[in-house]
Structure 1
Amino acid sequence: MDQDKPVLPLRSVDITRYITPLREGGSLPAIVEASDEFLYVLKFRGAGQGVKALIAELIGGEVARVLGFRVPEIVFANIDIAFGRTEPDEEIQDLLKASTGLNLALHYLSGSVTFDPAVTTIDPLLASQIVWLDCLLTNMDRTVRNTNMLWWHKELWLIDHGACLYFHHNLQNWQEQAIRPFTLVKDHVLLPQATQLNEVDQTFRSILTNDRIQAIVNSIPDDWLVPDTSFSSLEEHRLVYSQFLTTRIAHSAVFIKEAQHARSFI
């Protein structure tokens, strides 16, 4: 796993063709074609969880990339107001209309296969790295039921981070949430193999500097930061995300202890 990745600006594309919905996703993502002629999995701002799911996807995916994990390229994806008018499915047409403007998309890994823990065993170091990442991000969506990992070209790729950072659905007590253990780690698909969390902690804490975290958070588009009377400005709202992550990293011993405790019952 390549580590110490720089934080790079995200590209922007225009969506040119809606291909097919991925109906296994609760937010009804879709495979689309963009102006660069590549295929993407599009996450819609007009879906049920709105722009907060896109923020979680952006931060979660880019934090994972900085740490050296393989993550499909994330791009900003613009939907024109006229796009989808000819879509015959009324539900999809409504979703497209509600998603006019800036959305998020991930490069489509054509031919990839869902990771199956019954078929493949991940080595302890990589398992520990992924568990550490998900404890940091409070990612509840990496379970046996839904691993959100793919095999592509004989390599493991991490996808779907939209369920991370659930603290932002109730921002009033974010400081308290930042130092809480991640109790849902007990359901993590890779927890049984995660025997090297202490070693991973030392390495990952050195990589995830405040500057790298701030660079990722700064890439959140202004219009994704929904109006909130708790904040006097967009920058104050944006700052909460970087402060949550830096606080959580500073208290990583809390979530490591919780993961090790959960492993003792396996």
Structure 2
Amino acid sequence: MTDLPIPRRRNAGWRTRAFAYALVAPVVLLILGLVAYPFLFAIWVSFTDMVVGSVGQFIGFRNFEYLAGTATFWSAIWNTITIVLVSDILKLGIGLGLALLVHQHLPGRGLFRSFLMLPWAMPAFVAFLTWRVLYQPIGGGFNLILTQTGIHTEVIDFLGQRSTAMASVIAASVWRGFPFWFVSILAALQSVPRELHEAAIVDGASTWQRFWNVTLPGIMPVIIVTTLLSSIWTANGFEHVWLLTAGGPSDATMVFPVLAYFGMQTQRIGEAAAVSVYMLPVLGILVIFATSLMMRRDE
């Protein structure tokens, strides 16, 4: 059987590549239209003095210099870092503990799993408005419990004073977000080979040694990815701060998304875009760090 002529084989290869490009082209165009263009346009706007109704002129780094000179901007940096770090640590502890508990053969654990997913299934708007009602100084659930039981006789304005506002926002954020950690870690626990635990038991390893040397290394990739996603979502989160405190009192809970929203409210589009662009290096470093950890583990 003779081989096909070279020109015919080249035409067949070109047609295959053209067909493959034609299949990928709609997805590429969709990504460029919905992701790349808005992303690049927001960066451009951050270097202009654009306001509502005006195209704006290029002003270089003036928006960034102005923001860096305000106390609210530095409060937003500190508060965003605080909320992300503290929330992720608490979510990791709660999610890991509950996942280890439910992973055991306990009666009714299926119902318990479903119950633990309720905070995540509830719409964020409803969840944080409910927490706001619980925090109310007059008639709020927490103050009623504290005063009626005699634990604290005076009414506490959880969201209205600097000493308690940040902790109150973090508590609500942790309650809303820990189910994601729980279900992710639980899925990772179920993928750890049982033979490794059995071998560790035969070798005389204690419960803590089995967790540290078998369970934790097996679920670490999932913990890294979950930490990355949760950190990005928390840093970009808007509802948990806006619905509870709107960034107050006195910028005690001001974060980047709320600061950008205030810029939009005052119709200074350029400044609002500059706030968002300020977040890009931090999130980029976080993504690179998590990716490098995953690559090291793969190697």
Please report the TM-score for the alignment, with normalisation by the length of structure 2.
Answer: 0.27
Greater helix content: 2
Larger RCO, structures 1/2 (Cα 8 Å, 6+ apart): 2
TM-score (norm 1): 0.29
Whichever structure has more strand as a proportion of its residues is 1
